[in-house]
Chain A
Amino acid sequence: MTLQILLAISSVLFVFGLVAALTRQNAIMVLIGIELMMGAGNLNFIAFWRFSPHSELLTGVMFAIFSIAVAAAEAAVGIAIIILVHRRIKSANVDNADQLKG
């Protein structure tokens, strides 16, 4: 179990999340992609903590905890926005939310 393997795993997870955010049409899917990316980030933190020489500082752990809290808040607000937009344009399709079109 090397650090590189762990980092590679989290990179793959991140890329999956990125692809979901960039390619899926539904806003919820974009949110799912974002959550995946955030999860990959957390994995990175823990991996580096596990392999750090000063792991008694628990830096990675603290960071990961806060990251999870923020992700939760962000997911909540994002869902609220999606619901609100859905109310307006009757669709959860991101391509339909183009009122800022120039």
Chain B
Amino acid sequence: MSDLLQRFNALPWEAYSQWLVILPAGVMLLAAAAAVALRNLIHAALCLTLSFIALGIIFIALGAEFVGLVQLLVYVGAVAMLIVFAILLTRPSDLAGTKSPFAGIGPVTGILTGAGLLIVLLAFIFKSPLTKVAMPVAPSAPVADIGKLLMNSYIVPLQVIGVLLTSALIGAAVLAMEDKKP
């Protein structure tokens, strides 16, 4: 067993580590595009799920394993499911949807805005000196350290998140409650 592990570890990972990011990135982007453009809502939701999975893999590949797993657990396991349920609960009366899913002049403005933003952001990214850094040694993010940080430096944000989640839970439940008939 350890021999296999040794051989596994001895593989030229470094050469192929970038592909571990590039390939899931491509899948993510394609799935995102699909999620944006598909008319069928369920299909769009499922593409979104795929996109989230790919993003989680990217996180793991970049060394933030905990975040990646949290991404897979929360986003894929909860948010995406939530979206699917919401789609199911809010079915429009006409399922086919004669009209285009894009509203009026909206698509033009949206795409133009997106394009513009993309150009600006890329300009920022490729022009700024901040981003011209060499890749450092792979950091390690052990869960124990994350746990320690959560309990020491980030205790207040932790508690706030707790309150936030609690209130979100209660709020959502209250909002979605059935109207009480007198």
**Chain A interface residues toward B at CB < 8 A:** 1-9, 11-20, 22-29, 31-33, 35-36, 39, 42-43, 46-47, 49-53, 55-56, 58, 60-62, 64-66, 68-77, 79-84, 86-87, 90-95
Contact = CB atoms under 8 A, between A and B. Distances in A.
Interface of B: 17-18, 21-22, 25, 28-29, 32-33, 35-36, 41, 44-45, 48, 51-52, 55, 58-59, 62-64, 66-67, 70-71, 74-75, 78-79, 82-83, 85-87, 89-90, 92-93, 99, 101-103, 106-107, 109-111, 113-115, 117-118, 121-122, 125-126, 131-133, 135-136, 139, 141, 145-146, 149-150, 154, 157, 161, 164-165, 168-169, 171-173, 175-176, 179
Main secondary structure of the interface of A (DSSP, over half): helix
Given A32-B44, A46-B67, A65-B70, 6 more contacts: A32-B35, A46-B59, A61-B146, A62-B157, A69-B74, A77-B168
Given A46-B59, A58-B141, A64-B67, A26 B101 contact: yes
